[in-house]
Every structure is written in C-alpha cells, then in structure tokens.
Structure 1
Amino acid sequence: MSSSFNVSVFLTGLTLSLSLIMAIGAQNTHVLRQGLRREHVAAVVAVCALLDMALMTLGVSGLAASLGEYPRALDALGFVGALVLVVYGAQALRRALQPSTLQAAHGGAPVSAGRMVAQTLSLSLLNPHVYLDTVILVGAVGAKQPAGSQVAFLLGAGSASALWFVALGYGARVLTPLFAKPIAWRMLDLLVTAMMWTIAAGLVQRSLHL
C-alpha cells in the first residue's frame, strides 16, 4: 500500500461528491431553510455530512473488498458508474437549459434539536437516490482508484460534502439571493455536467486499462 497521499485521487473524490450534491433537492432546501432560521444549524449540517461520509465509506470499502478479487466485475461496475455519470451529466445539462431556483420558507414553529435530527435523517435516508449516489456510484468510482488510494478518495468526497453543507447552512443568508437567480443555477449545472463527464471518461479509461 502506498504511503504517499494521492492528490489527484483526492480531487477526483472532491469533484465527484460536489457534482452529485450541488443540485436543487429536498435535502439542500432543508439545510438552507434551517440556515435562514438559524435553528439547529450545526446539528443539521453534521448529520448530513457525517451520513454522506458513512455511506460513501460503506460503498467504497465494501465494493473494493467484495470485488477486489474479481477485476472483471470491478471493471463492469466501473462502466456502469460511468454510464450513470453520463446520464446525470445529461440531466444537469437539461436543467441548465431550463434553470430553476432554490427557495426556502422562513416560517414554521421551532422544534427541538432531537426532532430536527430525526427529520434530517428521515429526509436523507428515505430518499432512494442517496444510496445510488453514495453507496453505489461513489463506491464504484472509489473502488476503481489505484490500490492504496481509497482513503484519499474518501477524504476528498467527504470534504466536499462537509464544505457544501457548511456553506449552505451557515451562508444561507448570503447565498439565498444567488440561488434565487436562474443564471446561477445554469452556470452551476454546466459546471456539474463538465465534472461528471470528465470523471466518467476517466472511469472508462481505468476500466479499459488504457
């Protein structure tokens, strides 16, 4: 196992995680709403980031361990992951052509920290896409990284998730006017498309051993 930290693999994890998480959705709206209300922001951010990290670790370590002795199966999974990234990139491109906005209501009665954690967990875990994105997709890309570099990949992916939720939760009052502009989401989705398709191309190359 290599003792050096693979910066390239770290950046792959970082960009993949960011490209998956930077989209309008229930979880982002929930974090933004709590940021605007300044209510249990730390708890919400921590739950979202730690849950992402746990699921991504499960995916990368589980797939790497279970398929490590079956390189052809791992290559096939790499192709599947690349295909999913291409489809996700196409969806982001379509969103860029018809941009939406991210809005979060300020109202609502205050709730306890425990109830807010439970709401955040249910909102995240009951979304089937979270498992496809973190366990399967991130797991497939992470398992295809060079031997000994999975930790760097997970650090990159986890850092992206943590940075995004911290920025969204604590920067809500600053970011909301930006997120309310369709042009901002158009540029963001174009960036997401480029990142996803670039990672997909690299995944295909590794699966073909080019």
Structure 2
Amino acid sequence: MTGLLAALAGMGMGLSLIVAIGAQNAFVLRQGLRLEHVTGVVAVCAVSDAVLILAGVAGNSWLSARLPDAITVIRVGGAVFLLGYAVVAGRRALRPAWFAVDAGGTRNGLLATIATCLALTWLNPHVYLDTVLLLGSVADSRGAGRWWFAGGAAVGSVLWFSALGYGARLLRPLFARPAAWRVLDVVIAVVMAALGVGLLASAI
C-alpha cells in the first residue's frame, strides 16, 4: 500500500510538472493535429521523461555539486534553441497554406521530426530543473519508496503525452482551416519566445 501511495504521489507531481504549456507540449499537440509521426513523438517524450526521472532519483545533486556552471550553460543553450524555434513558428504563421495537411501541405520526415522532438526535450533547461532536480529531490525524501514515486511519475508522463498526441485529432475539424493553424503557430511562437527570453535572463 505504501508503494502504491508513493506511485500515485509521483504520478500527481509528474503531471503537475509536464501538463503546463511549453515547447514540448506545443510540439506534441501540433504533431497530433497533423497526424504526423505521433507514435514516434509520444514515445520519444515518454522515454526521455522516464530516463530523466530515473536520473534525478539516482543522483540529482551530483551535477549541481560538481559542475555548478553546467546549469547556466544548459539555460543559455536551451534559450537559443527556443528562440530559434519561435522564429520558425512565426514564419509558418505567415504562410498558412503550409499547414493544410489534407490539401497537400509539406510533411516533415520521421528523422527530422524525431530530431526536433529530442532537441525540444533535451535542450529544455526546465526539464532538468523540474524533472531531474525538483522531482528527484522529492523522490529522495520518500526513502525506500522513491522508486515507486519515480515509476508513478513515469506512468503519468506516458498517459499525458499519449492523451495529448492521440487526443489532438479530435480537434482536427477546427484545424481544417488554415487560419486556425496560423493562430496555433502564433501561440507556439509567443510561448517559445517567452520561455527563451526568460531562460536567457535567468542565465545572465
């Protein structure tokens, strides 16, 4: 029973950290709406989260104790990537015809999509600060139940990304219009730009 409670607590905390709107979630949503490589994207996000959660539980204090400058480097690199992706999303918003999947719009290849997903996941400093450091610290406080806590958090991640990626298709009637894609990418561009500026400001 103690293990189950720890797992449920881990799932709740994991969901609270990943459900918030961010670059990774925006990308998963967009791929789900386009019905483009959804399984690969969901798998990359879920597996990456599981690895990061386990890393945090196994030794979240190692990096900050031995490489104090690493967090700053991660923040700057993540900020640059997010700002660059914001520019890409902004350019897409200026060309709404590009979004019409059913009307012959351009589709990205699997490798390019997976590479972008990996970058949005592993170059995002919030992943390390929240998933590795914060979640790892809370898990450690549970003693022997920390691995149950980690397992629950990993399951929560799988559930969320699956719901976001596969559930997005329910919104396809709305996004059958190019204007809706334009609005979505404007939102994505603003979110990513805000995250990038915030990360850059915190690193300098």
* Counterpart among 158, 161, 167 of residue 163 in structure 2: 167
Distance 1:176 1:126 in 2: 29
Normalising by the residue count of structure 2, what TM-score does the alignment of the two structures yield?
0.61
Structure 1 residues 51, 59: CA separation in 2 closer, same or farther (over 3 Å shift)? same
| Paired residue secondary structure (1:165) | helix
**Contact between 1:5 and 1:152, CA under 8 Å: does it hold in 2?**
no
Gaps of 5+ in 1: 67-103, 181-210
Q: Taking structure 1 as the reference length, what is the TM-score of the superposition?
A: 0.59
Counterpart CA distance in 2 for 1:14 and 1:58 is 17
5 Å-filtered alignment, 1:149-168, equals 149-168=145-164
1:139 aligns with 2:131: no
CA deviation profile, 1:112-162 (whole Å, cap 9, x unmatched): 1111110001111111111101110011011111x3212211110000000
Cα RMSD, aligned residues only: 2.6
CA distance in 2, matches of 1:171, 1:154: 25
The Cα shift of 1:176 comes to 7.8
Return structure 1 stretches of 4+ with deviation > 2 angstroms: 173-177
2:192 corresponds to which residue?
Answer: none
What CA distance in whole angstroms lies between the structure 1 residues aligned with 2:58 and 2:122? 20
| C-alpha separation in 1, matches of 2:14 and 2:4 | 15
Quote the residue 2:53 is aligned against.
56
- Distance (whole Å) between structure 1 residues aligned to residue 17 and residue 29 of structure 2: 17
Identity value in percent: 50
Q: Which has the higher helix share?
A: 2
Question: Any stretches of 5+ residues in structure 2 without a counterpart?
Answer: 63-92, 100-104, 174-179, 181-204
Task: Give the Å deviation of 1:5.
Answer: 6.1
8 Å contact kept, 2:41–2:117:
yes
SS at match of 2:52: helix
Q: How does 1:103-122 map to 2 (within 5 A)?
A: 107=99, 109-122=106-119
Match of 1:16 in 2: 13
Instruction: Work out the CA distance in 1 between the residues paired with 2:28 and 2:109.
Output: 16
